[in-house]
Amino acid sequence: MKVVKTNIPDVLIFEPKVFGDERGFFVETFRQSQFDELGINETFVQDNHSSSTKGVLRGLHYQIKKPQGKLVRVISGEVYDVAVDLRKSSPTFGQYAGVHLSAENKKIFWVPPGFAHGFLVLSEQAEFVYKCTEYYAPEYDRSLVWNDAGIKWPNVNADVKVSSKDAEALTFELAEKFN
């Protein structure tokens, strides 16, 4: 699996080898030994799967305590996925990394703990799956407003659909951050 670095050194894009023929394809989506070689000492404890329609923007979510690292990919459709660095001690604090994920390109995005995470659905429908390094803890769940972190979202218009929780998210300036 090829590892591609982003503008934030801790955020990575994985480009797996795809083995295909007229019957279909096979792809390995995770290998613990590769994470170990990269110095990513995380254990995954939860898998999630969401389905969304075009124009849905989910996020930017994070947990202020028990932060989650996420290994994300799309199995149907296409999204633009982002990670915003909320670690105050980081040289990339406040910056974001983004990538197009799709069923076609099969890219996988590693979002470490300490980042807000979200995605915008670009296709008519998308199915998004991800592994988490920490269990979901609603009491620590926070949202950073999607349009206040300088993110250049593709194809964003007035029809972006967000949840009521995300509509009430805090600006970057007011959001809780990590030390």
- Residue 23 has a CB neighbour count (10 Å cut-off) of 6
Element (H, E) at 126: strand 125-132
Q: Domains in the chain: how many in total?
A: 1
User: Does a structural domain hold residue 175?
Assistant: no
Query: 131-150: per-residue pLDDT in tens?
Result: 999 999 999 999 999 998 89
Whether 130 is catalytic is: yes
Query: 77-93: per-residue pLDDT in tens?
Result: 999 999 999 999 999 99
70: its two tokens = 């996420």
User: Does a structural domain hold residue 178?
Assistant: no
Candidate list 61, 80, 96, 117, residue with the active-site label: 61
- Grouping H, G, I as helix, E, B as strand and the rest as coil, residue 150 is coil
Domain housing 120: 2-167
CATH code of the domain containing 144: 2.60.120.10
Whether 61 is catalytic is: yes
User: Does a structural domain hold residue 174?
Assistant: no
Candidate list 62, 130, 135, 136, residue with the active-site label: 130
